[in-house]
Amino acid sequence: MPTALPTYSDVVRASEVLAGVAHRTPVLTSATADALAGARLYFKAENLQRMGAFKFRGGYFAISQLSPGQRAAGVITFSSGNHAQAIALSARLQGVQATIVMPEDAPAAKKAATQGYGGNVVTYDRYKEDREAVARAIQEKTGASLIPPYDHPDVIAGQGTAAKELFEEVGDLDYLFVCLGGGGLLSGSLLSAKALSPSCKVYGVEPEAGNDGQQSLRKGEVVRIPTPKTLADGAATTHLGDLTFPIIREHVTDILTVTDEQLAQTMRMFAERMKIVVEPTGCLAAAAVLNKRVAIPEGARVGVILSGGNVDLANYGRLVAA
């Protein structure tokens, strides 16, 4: 039986569960950024969320919805990025065991961060083994619930709470720009936008090298691409999900792309002018606005989600110094 698509009432349920657990992140403004874009920008700073990205919202809510029996068997996921840390931290906070399947050659800092949040890291050889098969074998043995990074109704509902908070804080917006990988954040944001600011135009923004979402929207079906090479590692996904795509197709205004150079410039702008660390993937939405990838009328009210701030400091230094 196909899983039912989440609705705005699921986002509201998620916001109730997350109250007092997830940070209600600040909405930042900048006269410099406004001048560059020729609009009034409201940045929802999910780089300041717990574990450094919005992914905490979906991970925590998904785990909270498990039955007592499912919680006792633990959760499992395969990811080396922000979703791994989100699941490790949200599982620990709810007294649930988390197993994270990661490639053996994943950056040591990422492995350590995931273990630091209490995750049980299991590594595999990405040239010889299939991560889904590795995860499935563990699942069969332990009965753990698989929590995927985006294609899950509770994950989508949880991610939608960031945009919900933004609309509640600043009111109606003319535009909302959202970083896009597999589409959990964008589909959740669309549910909130349609409910709270129905005339708001919502754009997803992908790396130019990985524009599978844009291709899918044009074609009317999910298009799969090879793993793209981009600075935006959190959006280096190969396809949208069976749940995220129908929501995006129905409600999104359009999907835009930005280049790696535009992401690096945007990171620099945030460091220099706004004194905040935003990872390359977290800059996708802002880069589209600052580079005027779509014409925005002078003075329009524009929401921009900064999705995360986890970046290796040596890389960060190199990118912002350039």
In whole angstroms, give the CA distance from residue 205 to residue 85: 23
> Quick one: which segment of 10-18, 70-78, 140-148, 184-192 binds ligand PLP (CB under 6 A)?
184-192
Q: Is the dihedral of CA 36, 274, 211, 179 positive or negative?
A: negative
Task: Please report where in the chains the tokens 């890291």 appear, as a residue.
Answer: 121
Look up 80 and say whether it is catalytic. yes
Interface map 241-280 toward ligand PLP (x if CB under 6 A): --------------------------------------x-
What sections of the chain are H helices per DSSP?
8-18, 31-37, 55-64, 68-73, 82-93, 108-116, 131-142, 153-170, 184-196, 212-219, 244-251, 260-269, 284-290, 313-321
Order of all β-strands in the sheet with 254-258: 27-28, 40-45, 301-306, 175-179, 201-207, 254-258
Query: Are 206 and 180 spatial neighbours (Cβ–Cβ below 8 Å)?
Result: yes
Query: Which residue of this chain has its Cβ atom nearest to ligand PLP in the complex?
Result: 308
For ligand PLP, the binding residues in 74-93 under the rule CB under 6 A are 81-82
Shorter beta-carbon distance to ligand PLP: residue 82 or 265: 82
Is 231 among the residues that bind ligand PLP (CB under 6 A)? no
Binding-site member from 56, 308, 316, 319 for ligand PLP (CB under 6 A): 308
Shorter beta-carbon distance to ligand PLP: residue 71 or 244: 244
Judged by CB under 6 A, how many residues of this single chain contact ligand PLP?
23
Is 56 among the residues that bind ligand PLP (CB under 6 A)? no
Is 111 among the residues that bind ligand PLP (CB under 6 A)? no
Binding-site member from 184, 207, 210, 303 for ligand PLP (CB under 6 A): 184
Order of all β-strands in the sheet with 145-146: 120-124, 98-103, 75-78, 145-146
Residues that bind ligand PLP (CB under 6 A): 53, 55, 81-82, 149-150, 159, 179-186, 234-235, 237, 279, 281-282, 307-308
